[in-house]
Structure 1
Amino acid sequence: MDSIQSLRLFTRVVELGSFSAAAREENTGQPTISKVIAALERKLGVRLLERTTTSLTLTDEGARFYERSKRVIEEYADAVADVRGQTQRLAGTLLVNAPVGLGELRLNALLLEFLATYPEIEIELVLNDRVIDLIEEGVDVAIRLGDELPPHVVARHIASSPRVLVATPEYIKRSQKVRRPEDLAQHEYIRYAGIASGSMMEFSNAAEKIVVATTGRYRVNSSLALRQCFLAGIGLGTAPAWLVQDLIDTGALVQLLPKWQMASQAVHLVYPSRKYQPLRTRTLLQFLAGRVPHLPGLRAAVS
């Protein structure tokens, strides 16, 4: 039996919960299905299923192989559909991964809009700030910030977010004026914890480049917490514009030194490197590529 058919039967056994149920679906005998799975295990050199007289249980290796097998089968079906010129139905589940702050502030609403447009698609949005292995964790599409990307993926640079220096109007009124980057040394600087540059900030304009050593008593490794600190008025700090642009627009925060630039933060669409993708995945990628660059504080990447 060919490998694709073996994978398909294995996934159906797992999903239906027994050899006999899979055999009935295939209009064949239970011993035939059992032999196929046993042959697959011998070929792989691992045990995929623990069998008892009353149940089947996936081993750890079997669980991982099942997730990968489902993807292979989906890709094969889409490849056949592409060759035959068929249009796949927009249905099924997508696992999406994104950073916590960007996901909560900006992406959540976009994905709800996508679901409203495509009622047969389901989305599971997983928010974390770790760089994860997309294939190992079963992620279909990820949105990542910066240039640190997961291994073995396709990454498409779709947008960037300029970094801005901000403070509340109240903080500005009671504090020493900030006319040049060097003035930051006299201020309580709130920053994101764990960044490679540490307390050093680089500013540039058309004529000069300045590196400033900032000082401050508080650092936090959460973009949403950083946003709250800015609003509390306990100091000033820098952030990618996607995190604070709405607050600048309403006047809750003021951008300082607008003629000075800092390094922008890149936004990438990331997905496993595979030739064939389900139509739902391609549709979501197209949707995000078109909409994310127009979110507050973001601009389209220069191609």
Structure 2
Amino acid sequence: MDQIRAIRSFVRAVELGSLSAVAREEHSTQPTVSKTIAALEKDMGVRLLERSTTSLTTTEQGKRFYARAKRVLEEFNEAVSDARGLTEKPAGLLRVNAPLGLGQLRLNGLVLEFLALYPEIEVELILNDRFVDLVEDGVDVALRLAGELPPNMIARKIASAERYLVAAPAYLARHPEIRRPEDLASHRYIGFARPANGEVTRINGPAGTIEIATGSRYQVNSSLAIRESFLMGAGFGICPSWLVHDLLESGQLQRILPEWSASGQEASLLYPSRRYQSLRATVFMQFMAERIPKLPGFSAPVFGR
């Protein structure tokens, strides 16, 4: 059995959702394509596709195999092109995952600029605030902000952002003045979803590093919702500069205890394997590594921490 041909037929069947469509693309017949994929399943000892008269779906094993098989085909095609001395152009679909708030506020414009530079690349930008499994979800590149990075992924640190204590002028006008870090304990804190009893947060300033209690009646797992809560005068919080840079510039928010700040937030690009990386993923990461540090609220990465 020609395994490369069989894998290619399987990958296209998943993408097109039809064995007949694969047959037309390969100038073959539906029974031939079906037998090719069936032989691949028999050789592997697993069922990859569930077939019916009206639909074609992947099994759990098929879903996982598709993500890896697609990369195998890409690597094979690049190896052939390299052997023939051909110059490859960045092209094809690139699946990118990023946090929701960063994606909407800052990243969306950069992706559109990237697409203008590379007209043969398509980007599917998946925005959410959970850590996706890049291989399981078929993601080529992910942008991560702080947090623990998966040990089986390759990470490239590209930018840093300071973290400020901020609140709306309306909130500060209604509540006791904040003159020193100890005063924060009596104020309403809003932060990313945390345990109900709050947590201890470290901030850095003239007196070194101190701990402040950040108990709260309200936590939310969305940076955009936190941003909106600040604007509504619901409380104060500690947040990265990229999230509130424009609001600080316009005066809609202001820094509390500006000589104090929390440890910075680092932005990293993640990809599944150092062994193989498509050209479109390479140029995308190069573009983002150059442009993200120049966004408002970001700076060049800080290493050695």
Normalising to structure 1: TM-score of the pair? 0.87
Q: Provide the C-alpha distance between the structure 2 equivalents of 1:182 and 1:124, rounded to a whole number of angstroms.
A: 46
> Is contact 1:145-1:268 (8 Å) kept?
yes
Post-superposition CA distance 1:158-202 (Å, at most 9, x none): 112111001122333343222221111232222222279933221
> Is contact 2:17-2:56 (8 Å) kept?
no
Q: Provide the C-alpha distance between the structure 1 equivalents of 2:21 and 2:101, rounded to a whole number of angstroms.
A: 48
Alignment map for 1:1-303 (pairs within 5 Å): 1-12=1-12, 15=16, 17-18=18-19, 22=23, 25=26, 35-50=35-50, 57-60=56-59, 61-150=61-150, 152-194=152-194, 198-303=198-303
> Is contact 2:145-2:266 (8 Å) kept?
yes
Relative to 1, partners in 2 of residues 1:128 and 1:150: Cα closer, same or farther, differing over 3 Å?
farther
Post-superposition CA distance 1:220-272 (Å, at most 9, x none): 22111111111112322211111111111111111122222311111110111
How far off is 1:55 after superposition? 6.7
Unaligned runs of 5+ in 1: none
Relative to 1, partners in 2 of residues 1:26 and 1:198: Cα closer, same or farther, differing over 3 Å?
same
Relative to 1, partners in 2 of residues 1:196 and 1:216: Cα closer, same or farther, differing over 3 Å?
closer
Quote the RMSD (CA, aligned, Å): 2.8
Relative to 1, partners in 2 of residues 1:296 and 1:83: Cα closer, same or farther, differing over 3 Å?
farther
Relative to 1, partners in 2 of residues 1:288 and 1:62: Cα closer, same or farther, differing over 3 Å?
same
Q: Provide the C-alpha distance between the structure 2 equivalents of 1:4 and 1:104, rounded to a whole number of angstroms.
A: 39
Corresponding residue SS for 1:177: coil
Relative to 1, partners in 2 of residues 1:258 and 1:67: Cα closer, same or farther, differing over 3 Å?
same
Q: Provide the C-alpha distance between the structure 2 equivalents of 1:67 and 1:17, rounded to a whole number of angstroms.
A: 18
> Is contact 2:197-2:216 (8 Å) kept?
no
How far off is 1:32 after superposition? 6.1
> Is contact 2:171-2:233 (8 Å) kept?
yes
Unaligned runs of 5+ in 2: none
> Is contact 2:163-2:241 (8 Å) kept?
yes
Percent of aligned pairs sharing the same letter = 54
**Partner amino acid, structure 1, of 2:297:** G
**Partner amino acid, structure 1, of 2:56:** T
Normalising to structure 2: TM-score of the pair? 0.87
Post-superposition CA distance 1:272-297 (Å, at most 9, x none): 11423222111111111111111121
